[in-house]
Chain A
Amino acid sequence: MTKKALFIDPGRCIGCQACVAACRECDSHPGKSMIHLDYPDPGNSTAAAPTVCMHCSDPVAPCAQVCPTDAIPIDEQGIVGSASEELCIGCGNCVHACPFGVPKLDLVEMLQSKCDMCYDRTSQGKLPMCASVCPTDALFFGTQAELMQKRPGVQAVDIFGFGDETVRTNNAMVAPAGKNLDRIPGGYSREPDSRE
């Protein structure tokens, strides 16, 4: 059985903030949104890009690997959770090691929290909060087959390039179908002038 995942298509995102508001309503972190919604070119463009945890599988969760107290749990499906309250010492390692810029650190509470793909919902067959409200399906939750059926003109890519390294993830990005891509550029390159 092909498992379900979040498929992210920034090209469809209209920056409406519905996902941010919905995430805040989640029972496991009421009042706090775990989703990042960034505007890459504010003032010139309405383009927006949502970031959720990609649940890295290879290398498996860099955030959890650099955690000095094993505070970040990973379940058998590869879902990477928020830090355990009793273990997290708020050191910030995970925040800076995550290649996608996902974990948040509350400096008052000295506690990390991050997107856990709405574990309490998805483990019961429900949609993650963000995908349940996204009006454009920029955040689509389902199997890859379901995605392709809905949008035949796309492909899903779950490998990201960071410099010479690649990171494989449980969630995937959506890209145009014809595009010859062996990886999605992660934005990091050792040559400063090739940064966009």
Chain B
Amino acid sequence: MQCPTQTFCDRCGLPVTEGDHAACAAARALEPPRFCPRCRRRMKVQVVPTGWTATCVEHGTTHG
């Protein structure tokens, strides 16, 4: 189910309601997010061997 705050695809940055993001969702298994799902800003992403953090200046940091 789609998260209610997710307006934009966090991989390609396009609106989730436009087009098909199944390939993006599949790719995300091996990629961190790049776009903030709320405002579509490009996030500052740091990958480390055991995880990642992604930061939107407006909406804060998520971890994985």
Q: Do A and B bind each other?
A: no
A residues bordering B, Cβ < 8 Å?
Answer: none
B residues bordering A, Cβ < 8 Å?
Answer: none
